[in-house]
Structure 1
Amino acid sequence: MLEIKNLQVEFKSQKVLKGVDLSLEEGYIIGILGKNGAGKTTLFDSLYQSIPFSGNINWKNQPLKRSFVSYLETENYFYPYITGEEYLSYFSDKKDLNFSELTDKFNLPLKKYVKYYSSGMKKKLALMGMLMLDKPVNILDEPFNGVDFEGVHILYDIIRQLRSENKIVIISSHIIETLFHTCDTIAVLKDGKIDKIYGKNDFSELNTLKF
């Protein structure tokens, strides 16, 4: 179980997170909704141990380590003159990598330089790398941005696959329908705290909220 208790983050004397509490079981998918500036990315950065915070983030009753977390950020940066295949080689210690299964799923030209990839292709490449890391906690910050129709459905399949592998998945998206298709629950982040958590039977109520 992943347990977040009284998580607080402050920047220049301004509190962004004011006491976030969440408990997530393995094999669980939760969506995080909130207005711009609500603290979604700050929450993810805290889970990834990349910013200072107070409170507790525990994985199986021990402090969560960065090595247990895979984080797909909203914007992905690549060295332009690296091929997709070379990029993915950094995510595995195997000498002879077989990309065929992932390549078939994502349909990417892994022999080409990343500078020739579209934004959606770069998103797919970053997601492939994330999957190869095989971490128990997976954060997807706006994963559907810039992804075409086919890519959206690939993402749906991948997210369900992660659940079947008993992993925790935490997703943010401003496209609320994508969360309806993937999440077990959706939490609304407001004023630095979790305002309310909606189960599947209550998702329709979220259509009346403004973000």
Structure 2
Amino acid sequence: MDPVIEVNHLTKRYGATTAVDELTFTVQPGCVTGFLGPNGAGKSTTLRMIIGLNQPTSGSVAVEGRPFRQRPRGLRQVGALLDAGDVHGGRSAAAHLGVLARTNALPLRRVDEVLAEVGLADAARRRIGGFSLGMKQRLGIAAALLGDPPVLLFDEPLNGLDPEGVRWVRDLFRRLAAEGRTVFVSSHLMSEMEHTADRLVVIGRGRLIADEPLAAFAARSNGVSVRVRTPDAAALAESVRAAGATVTRDGADVLLVTGLDSDRIGDLAFERRLRLHELAATTASLERAFMELTAESVEYATAEAGDAR
């Protein structure tokens, strides 16, 4: 199957800062492709270049063989949610979508159809300024679906959604892919990508780390590790490192430990009277592989996270 999105040696510089660096990858139709990377990796900049909002410093990107800017009725070809908050708060949801429909020569009946699809039919006449973040995310998804496009881009679409909303978005993406559409989703939620994505494009510091099926990427992990959740993470990390383990920090109170089994980690914690809230062995996972392979690409790591690496 021919790729729908083709990114070739894409580079974007802002003065002395290189946000995207010689990036090359493709996105295929008929599957959900996750777009992963640490904060500051260049994901949002790349998505903006795909739809022509940012001009590349060098390189090129094409959607179905040509730059997106060459398409006068863009929403019929590509639907995108890049920033749920980038809307006029004084307009109603229906008015916001109505403007998009008219400027893209779309029938106005689509406004009611997509509002119903995303669960906002009852809020159609309400001002967007009073919406919660989750409602704004749903409105952004409605805007992406408005032109019934074959290509869909989403940047962190799960932010602000409750568990029901997250499940709904997951099912929506799977359905859209099953219809043969191209679905490209940027997210920092590894657990959701593990349940949703078929393929992954992973970048760090603007450079490509992986472009492959999700299972192949997850299998890159060093194997069995132990997940430890503790309010004494810094002290425990020091102890297990001293015992020869490799430690990766995953948030404020979670350690991923390789090289010691859970019994030995528990003993070390007991010896130092450190509290444990979770101690569980895990096999190769997307989260573990992501933490390992992007460890050197984290732009803003805490001192403890840096020590753990």
| Shared fold per TM-score greater than 0.5 | yes
- Unmatched segments (≥5 aa) in structure 2: 219-283, 292-297, 299-309
Confirm or deny: 8 A CA contact 1:58 1:64 kept in the other structure: yes
Q: Which has the larger displacement, 14-23 or 96-105?
A: 96-105
Matched, 1:123 2:137: yes
Residue of structure 2 equivalent to 1:99: 112
Residue of structure 1 equivalent to 2:287: 207
Shift, 1:96, TM fit:
4.8
Q: Which has the larger displacement, 161-170 or 68-77?
A: 68-77
The 5 A counterparts of 1:180-191 are: 180-191=194-205
Residue of structure 2 equivalent to 1:32: 35
Confirm or deny: 8 A CA contact 1:70 1:138 kept in the other structure: yes
CA gap of 1:81–1:161, structure 2 versus 1, over 3 A, is: same
Confirm or deny: 8 A CA contact 1:106 1:154 kept in the other structure: no
Confirm or deny: 8 A CA contact 2:174 2:196 kept in the other structure: yes
Q: Secondary structure at 2:100's aligned position in 1? A: coil
CA gap of 1:63–1:121, structure 2 versus 1, over 3 A, is: closer
Matched, 1:77 2:90: no
Question: Counterpart amino acid of 1:206?
Answer: L
Distance in 1, matches of 2:65 and 2:126, equals 44
Shift, 1:198, TM fit:
4.3
Confirm or deny: 8 A CA contact 2:151 2:182 kept in the other structure: yes
Distance in 2, matches of 1:112 and 1:172, equals 29
Confirm or deny: 8 A CA contact 2:34 2:199 kept in the other structure: yes
For residues 64-108 of structure 1, what are the alpha-carbon distances to aligned partners after superposition, in whole Å with 9 as ceiling and x for unaligned?
A: 446233220134223223222222222333255562574265145
Matched, 1:149 2:163: yes
Shift, 1:58, TM fit:
2.3
CA gap of 1:142–1:201, structure 2 versus 1, over 3 A, is: same
Confirm or deny: 8 A CA contact 2:79 2:146 kept in the other structure: no
Distance in 1, matches of 2:65 and 2:89, equals 41
Confirm or deny: 8 A CA contact 1:144 1:152 kept in the other structure: yes
Confirm or deny: 8 A CA contact 1:30 1:187 kept in the other structure: yes
Shift, 1:134, TM fit:
2.3
Moved over 4 A (4+): 95-98
Q: Which has the larger displacement, 147-156 or 76-85?
A: 76-85
Confirm or deny: 8 A CA contact 2:118 2:138 kept in the other structure: no
Confirm or deny: 8 A CA contact 1:3 1:24 kept in the other structure: yes
Q: Secondary structure at 2:38's aligned position in 1? A: coil
- Unmatched segments (≥5 aa) in structure 1: none
TM-score, reference length from structure 2: 0.62
Larger RCO (CA within 8 A; separation ≥ 6) = 1
Q: 1:132 aligns with which of 142, 146, 151?
A: 146
Matched, 1:89 2:98: yes
Q: Secondary structure at 1:62's aligned position in 2? A: coil
For residues 153-204 of structure 1, what are the alpha-carbon distances to aligned partners after superposition, in whole Å with 9 as ceiling and x for unaligned?
A: 1211221222123221111111111111211112220132111234232334
Q: Which has the larger displacement, 30-39 or 154-163?
A: 154-163
TM-score, reference length from structure 1: 0.88
Q: Secondary structure at 2:124's aligned position in 1? A: coil
Q: Secondary structure at 1:91's aligned position in 2? A: helix
Percent identity reads: 25
Matched, 1:165 2:167: no
Aligned length: 211
Shift, 1:143, TM fit:
0.3
Confirm or deny: 8 A CA contact 2:50 2:63 kept in the other structure: no
Q: Which has the larger displacement, 15-24 or 108-117?
A: 108-117
For residues 15-61 of structure 1, what are the alpha-carbon distances to aligned partners after superposition, in whole Å with 9 as ceiling and x for unaligned?
A: 22111111222223211111111111111111011112121212333
CA gap of 1:140–1:105, structure 2 versus 1, over 3 A, is: closer
Distance in 1, matches of 2:54 and 2:90, equals 30
Q: Secondary structure at 1:99's aligned position in 2? A: helix
